[in-house]
Structure formats: C-alpha cells, structure tokens
Amino acid sequence: MANTLFDKVWDSHVVRQVKDGPDVFFIDRHFIHEVTSPVAFLGLESRGNSVVYPERTFATADHNTPTINQHLPVEDPLSANQLDALENNAKKHGISHWGLGDVNNGIVHVVGPENGITLPGATIVCGDSHTSTHGAFGAIAFGIGTSEVEMVLSTQCIMQPKPKSMRINVNGKLGLGVTPKDVALYIISKQTTSGATGYFVEYAGDVFENMSMEGRMTVCNLSIEMGARGGMIAPDAKTFEYLKGRSQTPKGADWDKAMKYWETLYSDENAEFDVEFTYDAADIEPMITYGTNPGMGMGVTKSIPLAENVEGGVDTYKKSLGYMSFSEGDSMIGKEIDFVFLGSCTNGRIEDFRAFCSIVKGRKKADNVTAWLVPGSHKVVDQINAEGLDKIITDAGFVLREPGCSACLAMNDDKIPQGKLSVSTSNRNFEGRQGPGSRTLLASPLVAAASAVSGVVTDPRTLLV
Amino acid sequence: MAYDKFDVLTSTAYPLPTENVDTDQIIPARFLKATERKDFDINFFRDWRFEQDGTPKADFPLNKDIYAGSKILVGGRNFGSGSSREHAAWSVYDFGLRCVISSAFADIFKNNCLNVGVLPVQVSAEFADTLFAAIMADPKTEIKVDLPNQTVTLVATGESESFVINTYKKENMLNGFDDIDYLKNIENEIAAFAETRPF
C-alpha cells in the first residue's frame, strides 16, 4: 500500500488505537519552556506521578527572557519566578536545562535543530504552536496544551486523533528578493488563516527541495498560521548534511542505522492525500500583511483588497482594518513605520541575518525607526560574529540584542508601543500581539531591512538591483 | 486538574460573532506569567473587555449585564486560532463558561477545551447564524446543550442540531475523567512500546 510521509511517521508511533477515540501517540522528543510547563509540573506532582523518561524532555528558557543584560538578575519578579520554576523543575526531575546565559540557550525551535535533538521520523511536541518548525526535518512536530505537557511528562504519550493529510506543491524558480517567508505568507494568504484546520501538511516540489534547512524551518514554522496542526518536508541529503555531527545526533553505527530508516521517509509515488494544492513560484513576490491575522497578506506592491472581494464576514474584515488604521485599497509601499523586529522562531536564524545584512550593508538605519535585532540563539550570535555580520549591523546604526522570543509576543520588555507600526519578521500580526495597541506588518528579513533603512514600507527589490 | 462533570447544560449565551478570534485576544501573552493555575478569568479577553486604564468597555458582550451569568459563549468562525496556550481554555472555564459554540474551531484550542472541561460544540454556519439572530432578538434566549444525546437546541423554538464528539472524549466529559487517568492505566504497554523506539 502506498503511504504518505505523514502516514509512515504517524503510524509507527501509535501505541494503540482507542475505539471511536484518539490514538495513543508516543512522543520521542519533548521540549519545554518556562511559560507553558509550570502548571504541568504542579499537576504531575499533585497526582504523585514522576517524569517517566526525563532524557526525552529538553528545557530551554526563551519566551519570557530579557534581550539585554542577560548576565544581570531578571528584573520582572513574575518572569524571574517562571524562569526559576523551569530550572527547579528540570533539576528536580533530571531534565536537561539550558537557562539564561547557557551557551546552548535560545528559542526552543532554534536550539532543538541546532543541537541535533530534532531528527527525521521523530515525533516532537512542545507547549508552543510553532513546534511545527521541526517538521522541516521530516519529523511530525506540533504544539500542545499544558494538560498534554503533563501527559508527556508522566506517560510519554498524548491522545490525538490522526489529522487529515494535505500536500502543498510549489514548483518553479523564485524571483529576486523572494524568500522562504514570502513563500509561506503567500500560501497562507491563499489558504486563509483557517484553511488547513484539521490537516497535517506536507510541502513538496522543487522550491522546497532547493530551499536551505533554515528556509524549510521558516516554512514549516508558519504551518499553524493557516490552521494546520503541522507541516513537514521529506528529509534529503541536505537534511542529513545539516544534522551530521551535531551534539545530540546518533553517532557511528547508530548514525548508519538511523540513515537506513531516514532514507525510507518520503511519500510513496501513488500515496493519496485528502487534499492537494499546487502553486507556481513565479506568482510569488515579496509579501507583507495588512490585517490582524497572517492570512491577510499580499504582494508588497499590491493594494489592500476591498471587503467585497475577501472571503469571510465583512464586519470582521472592517474591524481588522480599523484596528490597523488602514483603508480598503491602500497601498502598503511608502507607509511610514516606527519599528522593525528581526528575530523569532520564524526568522531568527543565521540566514535571516545574512539576508538582512545584504540590504543594510553600506546603508544607514532611518532615523524614525527603532530596530530590534534579536538572534534566535547564542549559536546564531556566534555565527553572526564569525561571519563579520556584526560589523555590518553596527556600521549601519543597528544594535544586536541577546537571544529570546522578544517582541514576537512581547512577554518581556520588548513591547511595541500603542499605535506604533512595526515591520516584523515574526509570525503573528494579531491585535496587540507585539504589545497592547501595537500594529504589526509581517514580512521577510529583506522587506524588514529595506523598510528599516528607508523608514517606510519598501520593496526590497528596489535596493537589491 | 479535575473539572466538574458535564451532562446537560441549559443557559443563556454571550454572543461574539467576530471571526478568527485568536488566543492572544482570549488571554494576551503578558498575562501568562503565573506558575499556578488560578484566576485566569481576570484577564479573559483583557484588551477587548477593558480600556488600558481598566475601565470596562460597555459595548463588549462579555460586559453587558443582560448576558451576565451565561455559561455558554457563541463565537464566530475559527474560534481560538493561534497560540497553543491552554491559559485561553482556563480563562474560559474560570470565567464561568462550560461550553463554546462555533461553526469552526482551531484544533489546539478545541483539544485544550476538552482537556479542561469546556465543551466545544461545532455547529453548521447556518445554525450558528440562527443562534446569533435569536440572541440578538432576545438576549435571554436559552440554549440547551445535551451531551448524552449530542444535540444543541434553541429552547424557545425547539430548533436543534446534532454535534460530533468521539465516544472516548464524551465519556471523559460525562465523568470528569482526563487522559492521564487513561494513559497511566496502560503504562506497561507504553513502556514496552518505548523499548522499540530507535531514538
């Protein structure tokens, strides 16, 4: 029987099927962070349970951490308390912990792959919806709630009905200035913010085959933004090359054995998907969002659609544009901005900093723009420095901050003020996402860089030629 | 954490027809700093319920006295999208709601609701419109959610629709059980399975 990649990985992790119920689903790797885990540990302890496989869980602090002066005590007592809770829970239960200042610390979805914890064919969960990132390696990875975090800690399983399958093909050659982020925002704009609800997505086609691992992570990361539980890409030579030799990948004979299995991880030729979509790379231009969900995106040179031309309720659409202080038919190019945020689990990797630097090199930050450049991990920082990107950044008038989730969700002090407009490389433009009253335009690192040096929303292609 | 059993619920309902309500609206990230689960009702829909200075926004449905005490919320399509934060489901429960009705839910939010004792009831877009219209016409409109029979009914007119829930989750809700009870019961089977995993 012909199977999809998703079937192969899912079915091999089903401990048992509950009659007219979910599958008991085994989890190979579990990431935890300070925000969604403390109540799970309380639950575990109140029931008198213990962590059954502590070696399968990995803790890192990221959501609630400051991005300056990380060597000093955390000022906000509530944040400090959460960070302490994570450290104490990890220590008590024998779980590895990369706290603030640790050389391996960073955003959970950046450090997992970097350290080879993320593997093809594995099942990976975390109390964070962007866990879908790890699907870039051919893993089944998705976000869970805190009750499920407790389930994994105490039993290494969760109970999940198997999602339906969707394949999204993108073929052709991407144009100048079109990045993986644009590919993802384009797909989401076609699917809408809920189009893939109930599905697990496989991305296929030469656009993804030709994409770097960093780019694949960006695409899979954003799967949740069209409602999909997760997204995945079949592992290939590029995947194995990325993983080989990383600190926690299998070594020696174990590597060879793993490779034998990983090479079977692809959708069989006649495998059937519940639904399939195909897009043409030539139709994709640098993207930008204009509304309050990631499905409200368009080519940066386009105008905001008229309410009569969009799916869904007119009232919701008008509420969204009203929040953004935009009007139907507005062009985004030339809109004055206040902030630029480069970072997050979506675009906080080395390639994203390279892309940003390719535009700001030899230029200067616009005076009206406050820019927060936040690498995804200490390893990314080291790479930035090793490649001399730090000098380009500094010469252009920018400052590099310390790793963390930062202004993506503004749990720490990195909050975009009321009413201010931010071009952000993160993943969500929801109302208040980057701070109460903040207004977010999601875009690629290239659009962010072009806008940062121009002070207005700018098509990066005008600066790349 | 244990929750009260769910059987048959008859209540008035808060109407919130806005679509794509994301969990950042249900509870903004800046209120996720607790290390224990309590009082999440306080910041339920914080920025839609209150001005920045804390003044309640009078026109927001959750602030209207006429709906006060309702145990059901009827939400717009794609309710609960975005972040996986279970705090959103906790805040629904802590606010006193036991059921959310919508024509479509985001997957993770729906799962989280089921795990904390909030029943997500998915109805057709037409029936959702019928419910909104009935509530707009009479804010005291009562809705009956019958879990054993899997039906949702407008009490005044008898208009009704059935909803889907798998037998396993239904039994859990009816009895106040959760998945950990089930999983701990089969821990030997899980341990044997774990032995077979290559990594």
DSSP secondary structure of A345-389: HHH-SHHHHHHHHHHHTT----TT-EEEE--SBHHHHHHHHHTTH
**Strand ranges (DSSP E) for A388-446?**
421-424, 439-442
Q: How far apart are CA A86 and CA A280, in angstroms?
A: 45
Quote the percentage of chain A above a pLDDT of 90: 99
* Contact by Cβ (8 Å): A8, A271: no
Q: Which residues of B fall within a CB distance of 8 Å from A127? A: 84-86
Q: Which residues of B fall within a CB distance of 8 Å from A146? A: 86-87, 112
CB contact under 8 A, A313 and B19: yes
Q: Is residue B80 part of a domain?
A: yes
B107 has a pLDDT exceeding 60: yes
Q: How far apart are CA B133 and CA A189, in angstroms?
A: 30
Backbone angles phi, psi at A202, to 5 degrees: -110, 130
Q: How far apart are CA A462 and CA A444, in angstroms?
A: 15
Model pLDDT, residue A1: 83
Helices and strands counted in chain A (H then E):
17, 18
Q: Is residue B2 part of a domain?
A: no
Q: How many CB atoms lie within 10 A of CB A386?
A: 10
Quote the percentage of chain B above a pLDDT of 70: 99
Nearest C-alpha of chain B: how many angstroms from A3? 20
Q: How far apart are CA A35 and CA B98, in angstroms?
A: 25
Q: Is residue B175 part of a domain?
A: yes
Q: Kindly state the DSSP code that residue A179 receives in the 8-state scheme.
A: -
List the single residue in B32, B180, B186 with the smallest CB-CB distance to A151: B180
Amino acid type, A101? G
Backbone angles phi, psi at A175, to 5 degrees: -75, 175
B98 touches chain A (CB under 8 A): no
Q: What is the interface size between A and B, counted as CB pairs within 8 Å?
A: 206
Mind listing the pLDDT tens digit for each residue in A320-354?
Answer: 999 999 999 999 999 999 999 999 999 999 999 99
Q: Kindly state the DSSP code that residue A18 receives in the 8-state scheme.
A: P
- Full set of structural domains in chain A with CATH: 1-285 (3.30.499.10), 287-464 (3.30.499.10)
Mind listing the pLDDT tens digit for each residue in A74-91?
Answer: 999 999 999 999 999 999
Q: How far apart are CA A26 and CA A3, in angstroms?
A: 20
Nearest C-alpha of chain A: how many angstroms from B38? 10
CB contact under 8 A, A418 and B20: no
B86 has a pLDDT exceeding 70: yes
Q: Is residue B3 part of a domain?
A: no
Q: How far apart are CA A8 and CA A464, in angstroms?
A: 43
Task: Please report the residues numbered 351 through 390 in chain A whose beta carbons come closer than 8 angstroms to any beta carbon of chain B.
Answer: none
Residue written as token pair 């979506």: A346
* Span A47-70, average pLDDT: 97
A134 touches chain B (CB under 8 A): no
> How many domains does chain B contain in total?
1
pLDDT confidence band for A380 (50 / 70 / 90): very high
Q: Which residues of A fall within a CB distance of 8 Å from B34? A: 38-39, 78
Q: How far apart are CA A60 and CA A13, in angstroms?
A: 25
Phi-psi region for residue A36, left (φ > 0), alpha (ψ -120 to 50) or beta? alpha
Of how many residues is chain A composed?
465
* Span A136-157, average pLDDT: 98
Mind listing the pLDDT tens digit for each residue in B22-47?
Answer: 999 999 999 999 999 999 999 999 99
Mind listing the pLDDT tens digit for each residue in B137-175?
Answer: 999 999 999 999 999 999 999 999 999 999 999 999 999
Helices and strands counted in chain B (H then E):
8, 8
Q: Please state whether beta strands A287-289 and A297-299 pair in parallel, antiparallel, or not at all (unpaired).
A: antiparallel
Probe site for chain A from B43, B52, B86, B167 (most A CB atoms < 10 A): B86
Mind listing the pLDDT tens digit for each residue in A402-439?
Answer: 999 999 999 999 999 999 999 999 999 999 999 999 99
Q: Kindly state the DSSP code that residue A13 receives in the 8-state scheme.
A: T
CB contact under 8 A, A157 and B190: yes
Mind listing the pLDDT tens digit for each residue in A387-402?
Answer: 999 999 999 999 999 9
Which residue, among B194, B176, B168, B145, has the nearest Cα to B10 in the 3D structure? B145
Q: How far apart are CA A235 and CA A370, in angstroms?
A: 39
Task: Please report the residues numbered 133 through 192 in chain B whose beta carbons come closer than 8 angstroms to any beta carbon of chain A.
Answer: 166-169, 178-180, 182-184, 186-187, 189-191
List, as own/partner pairs, every contact residues B148-152 make where C-beta atoms lie below 8 angstroms and the sequence separation is at least 24, other chains included.
B148/B7, B148/B8, B148/B174, B152/B101, B152/B121, B152/B123, B152/B127
A152 has a pLDDT exceeding 70: yes
Residue B5 CB contacts under 8 Å (≥ 6 apart), including other chains: B173, B174, B175, B176
CB contact under 8 A, B84 and A143: yes
What's the whole-model pTM score? 0.98
* Contact by Cβ (8 Å): A177, A461: yes
A376 has a pLDDT exceeding 80: yes
CB contact under 8 A, B199 and A122: yes
Model pLDDT, residue A402: 98
A154 has a pLDDT exceeding 70: yes
A359 has a pLDDT exceeding 90: yes
| Structure token digits, residue A255 | 């590597």
Nearest C-alpha of chain A: how many angstroms from B174? 15
Q: How far apart are CA B34 and CA A222, in angstroms?
A: 27
Mind listing the pLDDT tens digit for each residue in A247-300?
Answer: 999 999 999 999 999 999 999 999 999 999 999 999 999 999 999 999 999 999
Q: How many CB atoms lie within 10 A of CB A367?
A: 7
Amino acid type, B73? L
Q: What is the mean pLDDT of chain A?
A: 97
* Contact by Cβ (8 Å): A324, A439: yes
DSSP secondary structure of A270-294: T---SEEEEEEGGG---EEE-SSST
CB contact under 8 A, A122 and B76: no
What is the span of the domain harbouring residue B153? 8-195
pLDDT confidence band for B135 (50 / 70 / 90): very high
From the number of C-beta atoms within 10 Å of its C-beta (0-12, 13-18, 19+), residue B88 rates as buried
Which residue, among A65, A86, A157, A4, has the nearest Cα to B187 in the 3D structure? A157
The domain that holds B92 is classified in CATH as: 3.20.19.10
Nearest C-alpha of chain A: how many angstroms from B98? 17
Q: Is residue B1 part of a domain?
A: no
Strand A164-171's sheet: what is its strand order? A230-232, A199-204, A164-171, A275-280
Say how many Å lie between the first and final Cα of chain A, rounded: 50
Residue of B nearest to A223 (CA): B82
* Contact by Cβ (8 Å): A332, A443: no
List the single residue in B29, B106, B184 with the smallest CB-CB distance to A410: B29
B1 has a pLDDT exceeding 90: no
| Structure token digits, residue A45 | 């302890």
